[in-house]
Structure 1
Amino acid sequence: MIELLNNGPMSIKELAETLGLSSAIVTKHIQKMEEGGLIKTESLSGTRGSPKMCSLAIDSLTLQLRTSSSEKALNEETKYTVEIPIGQYSDYAVKPTCGLASESKILGLVDDPRYFSDPERMNASHLWFGSGYVEYRVPNYLHAGQAASQLDISLELCSEAPSYNENWPSDISFYINDIEVGVWTCPGDFGSKRGALTPSWWQLGTQNGLLKSLSVQATGTFLDGVKLSEVTLEDVGLKLGEDFRFKLASLETARHCGGISLFGRHFGNYKQDIMVNVYYKDKIRTE
């Protein structure tokens, strides 16, 4: 099935006919591969129902079944984790629509960027802006005998429309140390269904976002496992003894300047703030 889909999308019926199998058997295998992230499906309207089109979700997959003891020693990785409250940004420049909210109330006045400097912003569990950026400082705990091998950042976010609009694309740019590592176009600002953690008093539209995982590696930058850019960990210049900076931006020059809504552990669907994992290895010492 994977070889067939390498040539382009196919429906369940087309796969079944080509393989000489029943549609029920093909459907079962497709479901398993979809759960494993290998295949994605989409239902298309047709004259007789809605045929399900299947396509490959990833370009490559590496599977290592056996590793020697020496390779294990060289490849052994560990990590440290930091969770940064969304209100603990170190720099910002935002334009309306904008605002901040804690678990219990609106912080300051809505659509007044001055309140992004209010000390109470540290309690924010939801913030939003129509254009601009927020930047966070992430502690670098590595010492001279260690080298970073991967940087992962997980956060819940979406576009920012007045009230909400689930068809409101926004080009969201991700930066590490002022290096743009990639741009993701969020499809909309989600408000039709209340977030699992969104407080009952909240009535301003936006309810939840999408949980996205950004990973900067030795071979490039990935978003949810899909390559976003060729920018590598070496390119962003993590320096020993120095914090590194993570910035989220909705640029006025972007094709879709649709703003950013960011969710912390008391808003949206995921009980977390900005989760950062820094993977590292011990440097090999030679006498």
Structure 2
Amino acid sequence: MQIEVSTKNMSFLECFSSETRVNIIELLQQESLNIKQLSQRLDISSAIVTKHIQKLEHAGIVASENSTGIRGTQKICHLQLEQAVLQFKPRKQQELPANTLSIPIGQYSSFEVKPTCGLASSTQLIGVLDDPRYFADPGHVHASILWFGSGYVEYRIPNFLHSNQKLRSLEISLEICSEAPGYNENWPSDITFFLNEIPIGAWTSPGDFGTQRGVLSPDWWSSGNTQHGLLKVLTVSPSGSYLDGTKISDVTIEDLSVTFAKEISFRIASLESSPNCGGITLFGKHFGNYPQDIVVTMHEDK
């Protein structure tokens, strides 16, 4: 995770201003602990530990779950965040490498969605919830989060390669998860990716994540909504298609038939015919845990 050092991320940065919170992180690096165990090891009251845990949870650093024990319910805490990089001088979009571009999630070229569904910019909802017609609202280009129960959204990837260049591989990264009413951490969804109308593979999202607030979630965004997704990297190469380095199909870059000056279509779908039709939530740079939209990198042969 990359965190910009700015006032909008104070809830995250303030977590490290307390020696007690850093001590909690050190303890949870070793094992999961309940509130009472943390209280005993830190020699402070359970009430104080609970307040510190709530702050760490709000920042997405720690996650907890209730577990039934011999003496009633206990709150088990564990580290959720593995790594964070502080950006003191954030990279601007125009500073991306020449072969990399960022596509805002609201700038889809076509769609077909069914409820539950909706869109929101960084400041407000766009249109009316659970009404697919608003996906055609001109304001959809400002969306920084969108969700739907089944269907697809499709994007156009510009192709700026020169006539004497050949595409060697294509890489796409995006933050994504399932879509359940409200949210549901255990809500599997089979998400299929298409390039130039060719299905290059599917991934089953394990859930729709809302227990821990997204690092970038705006203050107005309700805590009862989906908060963040998982950052996935899709790669199509001469040897096949991969998701986070794991092969998901034999579709190669040659199979996509990418030609000079012809754009590439990229479709993200939750098919009703799939075993787990659990919808899709997409996160832009102002929502979730990762400050990015859909980032596309095209590698050409030298």
Q: Same fold (TM over 0.5)?
A: yes
Query: C-alpha displacement at 1:112, in angstroms?
Result: 0.4
Paired position in structure 1 for 2:152: 133
SS at match of 1:146: coil
Query: How many residue pairs get matched?
Result: 205
SS at match of 1:151: strand
The equivalent position to 1:193 in structure 2, one of 174, 187, 212, is 212
Mapped pair 1:277 → 2:288: no
Distance in 1 separating the partners of 2:152 and 2:163: 32
Are the equivalent residues in 2 in contact too, given 1:79–1:280 (CA < 8 A)? no
Deviations 1:123-153 (A, max 9, x none): 1000000000000000000111100101000
Give the residue type in structure 1 aligned to 2:234. Answer: L
Are the equivalent residues in 2 in contact too, given 1:91–1:134 (CA < 8 A)? yes
Query: C-alpha displacement at 1:79, in angstroms?
Result: 6.1
Paired position in structure 2 for 1:256: 276
Query: C-alpha displacement at 1:220, in angstroms?
Result: 0.2
Distance in 1 separating the partners of 2:111 and 2:257: 22
Give the residue type in structure 2 aligned to 1:262. Answer: L
Deviations 1:250-270 (A, max 9, x none): 000000000000000000000
Paired position in structure 2 for 1:232: 252
Moved more, 132-141 or 237-246: 237-246
Are the equivalent residues in 2 in contact too, given 1:79–1:278 (CA < 8 A)? no
Query: C-alpha displacement at 1:244, in angstroms?
Result: 0.5
Mapped pair 1:171 → 2:171: no
Paired position in structure 2 for 1:145: 164
SS at match of 1:249: strand
Distance in 2 separating the partners of 1:222 and 1:153: 11
Distance in 1 separating the partners of 2:282 and 2:295: 13
- Relative to the length of structure 2, the TM-score reads 0.67
Any unmatched runs of 5+ in structure 2?
Answer: 1-96
Distance in 2 separating the partners of 1:153 and 1:125: 17
Distance in 1 separating the partners of 2:196 and 2:169: 15
Give the residue type in structure 1 aligned to 2:102. Answer: E
Distance in 2 separating the partners of 1:79 and 1:232: 23
Paired position in structure 1 for 2:238: 218
How well do the aligned residues superpose, as a CA RMSD in angstroms?
A: 1.0
SS at match of 1:192: coil
Paired position in structure 2 for 1:267: 287
Paired position in structure 1 for 2:53: none
Query: C-alpha displacement at 1:225, in angstroms?
Result: 0.7
Paired position in structure 2 for 1:38: none
Distance in 2 separating the partners of 1:79 and 1:225: 24
SS at match of 1:167: coil
Distance in 1 separating the partners of 2:175 and 2:194: 16
SS at match of 2:186: coil
Mapped pair 1:84 → 2:103: yes
Distance in 2 separating the partners of 1:134 and 1:215: 19
SS at match of 2:166: strand
Moved more, 238-247 or 253-262: 238-247
Paired position in structure 2 for 1:160: 179
Deviations 1:81-120 (A, max 9, x none): 1100000000000000000000000100000000000111
Query: C-alpha displacement at 1:237, in angstroms?
Result: 1.3
Distance in 1 separating the partners of 2:240 and 2:98: 19
SS at match of 1:161: coil
Query: Sequence identity of aligned pairs in percent?
Result: 58
Deviations 1:208-253 (A, max 9, x none): 0000000000000010011111110011111111100000000000
Paired position in structure 1 for 2:227: 207
Paired position in structure 2 for 1:24: none
Paired position in structure 2 for 1:180: 199
In the TM superposition, structure 1's runs of 4+ consecutive aligned residues that sit over 6 Å from their partners are none
Any unmatched runs of 5+ in structure 1?
Answer: 1-77, 283-287
Mapped pair 1:106 → 2:125: yes
SS at match of 1:114: helix
Query: C-alpha displacement at 1:159, in angstroms?
Result: 0.1
Q: Which has the larger radius of gyration?
A: 1
Distance in 2 separating the partners of 1:149 and 1:175: 18
Are the equivalent residues in 2 in contact too, given 1:88–1:121 (CA < 8 A)? yes
